[in-house]
Amino acid sequence: MEFNYDQIKEKLKGYDLQTKIQLIALAQCLYDRKNLDHQQDQELDQMEADYKKRVEPLIEASNQIISGQRVVKEEEVEDLKEYLNAQEQPILDNKEPIENYWSKVLLNSKTLKNEVIGDKDEPLLKAITNIKGFENKEQHKLGLVFQFKANDYFPEEELKVEFLLDDKQGEPLKVESTKINWKEGKNISVKIVKKKNKQKKKVKEVEQKTIFQLFKNLDVKDWEKLEEDKKEEQQQKMDMCYDICRLIYDEILPYSLEYYLDVHVEDEDYEGDDMDDDESDDDEELTKEEAIKRMKERRGFKK
Cβ distance 241 to 281 under 8 Å? no
- pLDDT for 32: 93
- pLDDT for 278: 45
Distances (CA, A) of 205 to 96, 190, 194: 40, 6, 9
What percentage of residues in the chain have a pLDDT greater than 90?
59
Cβ distance 258 to 298 under 8 Å? no
Please choose, from the candidates 222, 211, 216, the residue with its C-alpha nearest in 3D space to the C-alpha of residue 247. Answer: 211
Cβ distance 121 to 210 under 8 Å? yes
Is the per-residue pLDDT at 274 higher than 70?
no
- pLDDT for 85: 81
Instruction: Please tell me the distance from the alpha carbon of residue 54 to that of residue 229, in angstroms, as a whole number.
Output: 46
Instruction: Please tell me the distance from the alpha carbon of residue 65 to that of residue 292, in angstroms, as a whole number.
Output: 29
Distances (CA, A) of 112 to 24, 90, 178, 248, 264: 54, 35, 21, 9, 13
Is the per-residue pLDDT at 303 higher than 90?
no
Band of the pLDDT at 77, cuts 50, 70, 90?
A: confident
Cβ distance 142 to 154 under 8 Å? no
Instruction: Please tell me the distance from the alpha carbon of residue 291 to that of residue 274, in angstroms, as a whole number.
Output: 23
For the chain, counts of helices (H) and of strands (E): 8, 7
Average pLDDT over every residue of 250-272 = 82
User: Tens digits of per-residue pLDDT, 134-188?
Assistant: 999 889 999 999 999 999 999 999 999 999 999 888 899 999 999 999 999 999 9
**DSSP notation for 231-248:** HHHHHHHHHHHHHHHHHI
Please choose, from the candidates 211, 121, 111, 120, the residue with its C-alpha nearest in 3D space to the C-alpha of residue 161. Answer: 211
Band of the pLDDT at 281, cuts 50, 70, 90?
A: very low
Is the per-residue pLDDT at 282 higher than 50?
no
Please choose, from the candidates 145, 149, 142, the residue with its C-alpha nearest in 3D space to the C-alpha of residue 123. Answer: 149
Q: Give the Cβ contact number of residue 96 at 10 Å.
A: 7
Is the per-residue pLDDT at 288 higher than 90?
no
Is the backbone of residue 68 left (phi > 0), alpha (psi -120 to 50) or beta? left
Give the total residue count for the chain.
303
- pLDDT for 4: 78
Average pLDDT over every residue of 189-205 = 78
Helix residue ranges, H only, 3-69 = 5-12, 17-67
The mean pLDDT of the chain is 86
Cβ distance 189 to 212 under 8 Å? yes
- pLDDT for 296: 46
Instruction: Please tell me the distance from the alpha carbon of residue 124 to that of residue 151, in angstroms, as a whole number.
Output: 7
Cβ distance 12 to 23 under 8 Å? yes
Beta bridge partner(s), residue 165: 172
Band of the pLDDT at 224, cuts 50, 70, 90?
A: confident
Q: Give the Cβ contact number of residue 115 at 10 Å.
A: 21
Q: Would you give the end-to-end CA distance of the chain in angstroms?
A: 41
Is the per-residue pLDDT at 272 higher than 50?
no
Is the per-residue pLDDT at 202 higher than 80?
no
Average pLDDT over every residue of 125-135 = 96
Torsions phi, psi for 41 (to 5 deg) = -60, -45
